[in-house]
Amino acid sequence: MRPVTVPVFQSFARRERGAVMVLFVVALVAIIGMAGLALDGGHTLLSKTRLQNTVDAAALSAAKILDDTGDTVLAAADAYAMFSSNAGNYGNQEIGQAYSDGSLTVTVQFSSTLSPFVPGTTPAEYVRVRADNFTMPAWFSNVVGVTEKRAAASAVAGPSPTILQACNIMPMMVCGDPAAGPPYWGYTPNEADVLKTSTTQGSFDVGPGNFQLIRLGDSAGGADIREAMAGSFDQCIGPGDTIETEPGNTVGPVVQGLNTRFGRYLGPMGGMQSTYPADVVTTQSDPPLDYDPATDEITYEDLPADTNNSYYNHEDYVADVDNVSLPLPSGVAFNRREVAVPIGDCSIATSGQGELPLLGFGCFFLLQEAQQQGNESHIYGEFIEDCRSGGMAGPAPTTIPGPHIIQLYRDFQSIDS
């Protein structure tokens, strides 16, 4: 038989088709690997974001409990509970599963300083919540040898610097001394003061007919003042603003609104416990403090209050708050008796509705319920170093006293923050 001769070009074409097939398979693997890395990388990024949100929420919640109680045990328990609760939310199933089986570890630490954050130092001011070893399976990137993905997250929260723009303040003002300057504006820490007076006598004057209430609006009435004193006043005041004063005493609404903070719901405030809860501690002096307009002094049992420290004060209150157990029953809340109040320059007297320069903000502890005796009422408060309020603050800590918020900080000791 004659041998069959295959043309050279046909043999080369067959070999070429084989090489193309190999190249195609290699390229396909590379494409699948790149796509897998992209998809798995996107999943990792999404999971990392969800994990960060979870530790952020846990740190903020724990920092609020720490700020309220000063108790690191309660704050740590709250952090773990908040993390577990958020890990069970829709979309966080992988986090919840990893946390429940123990492969994802969560640690809670406390420090008295922010930078550096030194775990275990006292008194505790800042809290760190860290989640480690969150391992996720690789789906498509197995083809390039990646079998699992890992993520971690860290969050630090604590008190902010003194806020310059304050919200959720008491709808009244106190008079400060511009010459004394910040941060106290003439007030003395841990000293009792009259925050709102019922008379035009004494050093608390802002002008005839004006009783230090803040104007709520053109059409505001007694109902608005009542609920604002209970805690609904959400206007914000900041640098460059003036304080608009409101003429009139409006004794009834002022007393009814403020006294919800002590668990008394009179008149239209009846049944408003869920909206305006009482403070966790409503203890007050018995007999109550009094004001002597003749001497312009606050008295307790006929003695000047500043020489008689036997009345129930903020130090006593803090000690009682330390003994409060969580969870809180319905109808009560922390910080209802610690309020932020605008401090105005009253050297410019204004008659009726007017405007006064804003000097800053002060924190006061409400010492007792407001009492109504005809058209008279006084509000007594103790000037304290700091309190929690709403508003805006910067990213750096400070020791200047005043109202603050609880906020997140970057954890500079962790790349996962």
According to DSSP, the β-strands at 379-384 and 355-366 are antiparallel
pLDDT in tens, 235-280: 888 888 888 887 777 888 999 999 999 999 999 999 999 999 999 9
Nearest Cα to 198, choosing from 187, 190, 189, 209? 209
Q: Please enumerate in sequence order all residues whose Cβ is within 8 A of that of 210, keeping only pairs 6 or more positions apart, or say none.
A: 245, 246, 247, 350, 351, 352, 354
- The pLDDT confidence band at residue 340, using thresholds 50, 70 and 90, is very high
- Position with higher pLDDT, 417 vs 88: 88
Distance CA 184, CA 164 (A): 14
Tokens of residue 337, six digits: 């008796």
Specify the 3-state DSSP secondary structure of 107: strand
Which CA distances in Å does 318 have to 112, 180, 211, 264, 340?
19, 28, 30, 21, 17
What's the distance, Cα to Cα, between the start and end of the chain in Å?
82
- The pLDDT confidence band at residue 293, using thresholds 50, 70 and 90, is confident
Mean per-residue pLDDT for 34-44?
A: 59
Kindly state the percentage of the chain with pLDDT values over 90.
Answer: 40
Mean per-residue pLDDT for 223-235?
A: 89
Nearest Cα to 170, choosing from 224, 233, 222? 233
- The pLDDT confidence band at residue 156, using thresholds 50, 70 and 90, is very high
pLDDT in tens, 351-388: 667 788 898 899 999 999 988 766 667 889 999 988 99
Sorted by where each begins, the domain ranges of the chain are: 8-159, 166-391
Instruction: Tell me what the pLDDT averaged over the chain comes to.
Output: 82
Q: Is the pLDDT of residue 150 over 60?
A: yes
For residue 78, what is the enclosing H or E element? Answer: helix 72-87
Q: What is the pLDDT of residue 279?
A: 97
pLDDT in tens, 200-212: 444 445 655 556 8
Distance CA 92, CA 84 (A): 10
Q: What is the pLDDT of residue 56?
A: 96
How large is the C-alpha radius of gyration of the chain?
32
φ/ψ region of 102 (left if φ > 0, alpha if ψ in -120 to 50, else beta) reads: left
Q: What is the pLDDT of residue 311?
A: 93
